[in-house]
Amino acid sequence: MLPSSVSSFHTTNAPSTPLSPLSTFSSLSASSSSFSSSLSFQQSSLQYRHLVSSGPGSKTLFGINSKPKGILRVSCSTSGPLKVMISGAPASGKGTQCELIVKKFGLVHISTGDLLRAEVSAETEIGNKAKEFMNAGRLVPDEIVTAMVTARLSLEDAKEKGWLLDGYPRSSAQAESLEKLNVRPDIYVVLDVPDEILIDRCVGRRLDPETGKIYHVKNFPPETEEIKARLIARPDDTEEKVKARLDIYKKNAEAILSTYSNIMVKIDGNRSKEVVFKEIDSLLSQVQRDEVKSVKSENSVPESGSRSSQASVSQDKWRGIPTRLNNIPHSREIRNYFYDDVLQATQRAVNDGRARLRVDINIPELNPEMDVYRIGTLMELVRVIALSFSDDGKHVKVCVQGSMGKGALAGMPLQLAGTRNILEFMDWGDYGAKGTFIKIGSIGEQEVSEEDDMFILVAPQNAVGNCIIDDLKAMTVAAGSRPVILINPRLKVGIVN
């Protein structure tokens, strides 16, 4: 596999002895490798925390064993108001917990059922489209529901107060649609209740047709005999239909598990509503506290001075973004998955205010004929990221070590010192992006100018052993609070047997 990830990287005055292996973070979008470990080392007063992937029992350039660890994930936390998704089977108590969450945290409660009814009632364009499917007895397509959800999330109240997304997404397609639109919660809460309890809760429910109030023959009986006499069972609350709904829920829940597994928390819902909410309250409060600490840490820069002076803070955090691509040539379609994976994660991180991102790309040894493919893939990734941000009107500076094949990196397997030449002759679109919104230069403090909005630096792992480390450090400091994306191919040369 050719996994890529972004990891923490910050200045420090610690000694240059290797650090002990770091613990694994939770992931924004996870990749897996059969043999992965988390390592750290220090060199030239810069501390790097990153991931490596190699074969069983092998050693890296630094002679550190890589032991099988299973799935490895790196975290990229979000910022802003609280964002919560909650899921639960029918009769799991989800509605009650949503009411309590909204009351305590002031979140905007978003339910797809409510949205559909509101849009249809208001006869909006999207509501009319949904109504056509509903009148025909068909499910409303994912794209329509996702459009309604994202439109609701884009309103000011949801942006300012945060949101609670209730019972959505319900399928892998819906989850993937939200991911592509950068809609991701801070936490995914699942209410877990045994099937027999859920069936009992549903079958024992009774509806008061006059008030719309829901009762339960055992757990919540009616107040008077008069009310009891008029209660009716809902058509969907038969044991057969409840079991069918539970089967559908389980299949849907399993389908989206991989998308939110790293932020999912299961809550035992077979307890009183007060006890269940106490646990949810504790979890959400902890998420808020962690977020406040993160924001304070990132905002602890001097109040005065230019962008450059703002970078005098000693600890710039580099957040992780994992993805994957096999190490053999693939079709354009397959490679696009790789580019899109990195791009979406990078966009999410930058939009969430992250200023230091590092994309580690582990490139295993292949025969020399593969070098052109590998460097082409790497440079195309750089181009995709740069064009994406330039399309948003940002001025992007793309910088590489050395130029025209010269410099300390000349002669390395991937000829990274010649990437400047490759970048200069790449296709940068029909609208003159290169030279206006995108400029190409060398890694160094002298390349930083006030008109630059962000920087993409291409530098190999091996650079930490030569002079480029000082240039990287100086340029990162000069960039100040502006985003810096370090594309860091990990060349497997000099392996210790």
Q: Note whether 91 and 69 are same-domain residues.
A: no
25 occurs within a structural domain:
yes
Residue 277 C-alpha from the chain's centroid? 27
pLDDT score, position 457: 87
pLDDT, tens digit (0-9, with 9 covering 90-100), for 17-37:
222 222 222 222 323 222 222
- pLDDT of 444 reads 81
* 282 and 168 both lie in a single domain: yes
Confidence band (pLDDT; 50, 70, 90) for 291? low
257 plus 163 within the same structural domain? yes
Contact 414, 489 (CB under 8 A): yes
Q: Which residues pair with 215 in a beta bridge?
A: 206
Residue type, 79: S
Residue 137 vs residue 45, higher pLDDT: 137
Tokens 């590489």 found at = 400
**The pairing of beta strand 264-268 with beta strand 187-192:** parallel
Measuring CA to CA, which residue among 433, 338, 337 is closest to residue 388?
Answer: 433
**Residue 180 in this model has a pLDDT that exceeds 80:** yes
Active site residue: 83, 94, 374, 482, which one?
Answer: 94
Predicted confidence at residue 374, as pLDDT, reads 59
CATH number, domain of 369, equals: 3.40.50
How many angstroms separate the CA atoms of 496 and 62, rounded? 8
221 shares its domain with 256: yes
- Nearest Cα to Cα of residue 33 among 7, 62, 67, 59: 67
Residues 104, 232 within the same domain: yes
- Kindly state whether residue 480 falls inside one of the protein's structural domains: yes
Interacting residues of 31 by C-beta distance below 8 A, sequence separation 6+: 1, 3, 4, 5, 72, 73, 322, 323, 324
What tokens appear for 136 in the block? 């025909």
The position carrying tokens 């002079």 is 467
Kindly state whether residues 130 and 274 are assigned to the same domain: yes
Q: Could you give the percent of the chain with pLDDT greater than 70?
A: 62
Provide the pLDDT confidence category of residue 402 given band limits of 50, 70 and 90: low
Same structural domain for residues 71 and 91? no
Is 94 among the residues known to form the active site? yes
Residue 210 in domain: yes
Choosing from 49, 129, 205, 319, which is the catalytic residue?
Answer: 205
pLDDT of residue 316: 41
* Candidate list 69, 228, 243, 245, residue with the active-site label: 245
245 is catalytic: yes
Find residue 188's DSSP bridge partners.
85, 264
**Residue 109 contacts residue 187 (beta carbons within 8 Å):** no
Instruction: Convert the pLDDT of each residue in 190-205 to its tens digit.
Output: 999 999 999 999 999 9
Same domain, yes or no: 159 and 70: no
Residues 373 and 472 occupy one common structural domain = yes
Residues 333 and 445 in one domain: yes
Final residue before a domain boundary, out of 274, 291, 308: 291
By the 8 A CB rule, do 389 and 454 touch? Answer: yes
C-alpha distance across the termini of the chain, in Å: 21
Number of domains in the chain: 2
pTM attached to this predicted model: 0.46
Pick from 321, 315, 369, 318: nearest CA to 345: 321
Q: Which of 49, 83, 170, 397 is catalytic?
A: 170
User: What is the domain extent for residue 153?
Assistant: 83-291
383 is catalytic: no
The verdict on 267 and 362 lying in the same domain is no
384 and 248 together in one domain: no
Is position 170 annotated as part of the catalytic site? Answer: yes
- Catalytic, 159? Answer no
